Amino acid sequence: MELDAKATRALNYFIPQMVSISKSGMVQVGILLVFILGGLYALVVQIVEGHIVTGMRDNVVWGLYIANFIFFIGISYAGALISGILHLLRVEWRHPIIRIAEIITIISTIIGPAYILLCMGRLDRLHHLALYGRIQSPIIWDVLAISTYLIGSIIFLYLASIRDLAALRDYPFKQKWRKKLYRFLAISFNGNAKQNRFLERGLTIMSAIIIPLAVLVHSVLAWIFGMTLRPGWHSTIFAPYFVVAAVFSGTGVLIIALWVFRKYYHLESYITKIHFNYLGIILMILGALYGYFTFSEYLTSWYGSETWDMEVLYKLFDPHEYWWWFFFSAILGVALPVLVILIPKFRNINSITAVSVIAVFALWVKRYLIIIPTLETPLLPLQDLRPEYIHYTPTIIEWLLTFAGVALFCFLFFLFSKFLPIVSVVKGEEGTNYAELRKKVMQRVLKRKIKEEKRKASQKLQHI
């Protein structure tokens, strides 16, 4: 495939980074592997000893694992939505960020559901889900939605990477496996007009279908809670609330990932301040929207004053229980990103990344607060029970598996960056086409204006 000078330069910049690893990189990968091994150890302990090694009991049956599940599915959502929308709108500045966003989607859609498996007591009965699953159950909807979403995201990422894969196929790599792999994946793409047309059609379809699919996936996840008659869950706004929270946290993770790769691979010329500014503004708008949903949700519950709802709210507002976490997740974690990005003086790459970190942590805490206080407030009064049956405390096993999930997320990201440039190298032709289109539109507008002015002038002359 023929490459222009810019693409060749970019390819030559990325390939050495793909085939080698620095000493500091090896240390970082080593640290990630230590966390992953810690998680594997915790997994073995949990399988051998059973769920008694977790903090989950008869009463609080969901804990850290489900919070992690919602968190990862949430961040997966932003990747799909941002890359889908930006592609559909042919936004010029999307190229450096679109692949990172898609990778976030795929990796987090793989890791998130793994936490469901960790939460299940009888994994040997997993196949019963397929054999005896009931369509009425939101859990089945979730399984269907997430698996369909994952497949869609993989297809989308693959389509968006075909041009780069073709470029890599033609690069003289020393490793044979790379040559074979890229040749297989590039499906004989050479960039001719026909192939470009088919590829663009596929990409447009996938970017259009991935957006409603992503909305549906997170809505289904929200319905698992919303359709359960429990305080703090049974809410009609839970689906849009989850969707907004998901894009909010996902955008935060995308900003963090951009910052990390910008530093790690020195991509200052590819990922510029403008990307951070635009994503920061998206984060700010989503933060405001999320804040509005949060306020609406808690105000409605508080004003209704239903006894059971109030029990949960009192726990959230009690400084001895969850107040500080609530303050961080619902107030500080929302207000700080909005204010810092809103004021131009504070808006720079590092500050946007810093508030993104805060937003992501806040949203993780929020997921924890959705699950635990509600489960600690059963409808029937609990009597003569041990404290751990009433109050949930995550154990070291759960924390190890949580950190392992985060480490695996980073590790898979690292592996992917060794397989494909983290930023799109070869651009499609739609950029030029759109520039031409804009030019044509402007010419038409100008012609119409001139015609109009001429008509007015001739009318004036006739009048005189």
Partner 1 sequence: MKYMLIISLATAITAGKGLAQKAVRKTARVQVEYFKGPDKTENLVATLIVKEKRYVPFGEAMLYFYCLNDTARILLDKIKTNDAGKAVLTVSNNPKITKDPEGKITFIVEYKGSSAVKAAQRKMAIRQGDLELSFFQKDSTKSIEVSATETGADNQRTPIAKVNILFYVQGTFSLYNFAKEKTDENGIVQVAFPVDMPGDTTGVLTIVAKIEENRTYGTIEAKGEINWGKPIQPVKEKKRGLGDTDAPLWMVYTLIVLLSAVWFHYLYVVYMMIKIKLAR
Chain residues in the site for partner 1 (CB under 8 A): 134-136, 141, 144, 148, 151-152, 155, 159, 162, 187-190, 192, 194-195, 198-199, 201-202, 205-206, 209, 213, 216
Closest approach of partner 1 to the CB of residue 208, in Å: 8
Closest approach of partner 1 to the CB of residue 166, in Å: 10
Say how many residues make up the chain: 464
Closest approach of partner 1 to the CB of residue 152, in Å: 7
| The two structure tokens encoding residue 380 | 């029937």
Q: Which is nearer to partner 1, 198 or 324 (CB)?
A: 198
Q: Which is nearer to partner 1, 135 or 461 (CB)?
A: 135
Q: Which is nearer to partner 1, 155 or 285 (CB)?
A: 155
**85 touches 139 (CB < 8 A):** no
| Rounded distance between C-alpha atoms, residue 197 and residue 189, angstroms | 12
Q: Which is nearer to partner 1, 217 or 358 (CB)?
A: 217
Q: Which is nearer to partner 1, 195 or 348 (CB)?
A: 195
Closest approach of partner 1 to the CB of residue 248, in Å: 25
Closest approach of partner 1 to the CB of residue 150, in Å: 12
DSSP of 265-290: TT-TTTS-HHHHHHHHHHHHHHHHHH
| The two structure tokens encoding residue 77 | 């959502």
Closest approach of partner 1 to the CB of residue 84, in Å: 13
Q: Which residue has the tokens 């970019």?
A: 10
**83 touches 207 (CB < 8 A):** yes
Q: If we measure between CA atoms, which residue out of 128, 146, 150, 127 comes closest to residue 138?
A: 146
Q: Which is nearer to partner 1, 136 or 307 (CB)?
A: 136
Q: For residue 136, what is the DSSP state?
A: T
SS3 362: helix
- The phi and psi torsions of 181 (rounded to 5 degrees) equal -65, -50
Closest approach of partner 1 to the CB of residue 63, in Å: 27
Q: Which is nearer to partner 1, 141 or 259 (CB)?
A: 141
Burial environment of residue 334 by CB neighbours within 10 A (0 to 12, 13 to 18, 19 or more) = buried
CA angle 294, 297, 299 (to 5 degrees): 100
| Rounded distance between C-alpha atoms, residue 37 and residue 200, angstroms | 42
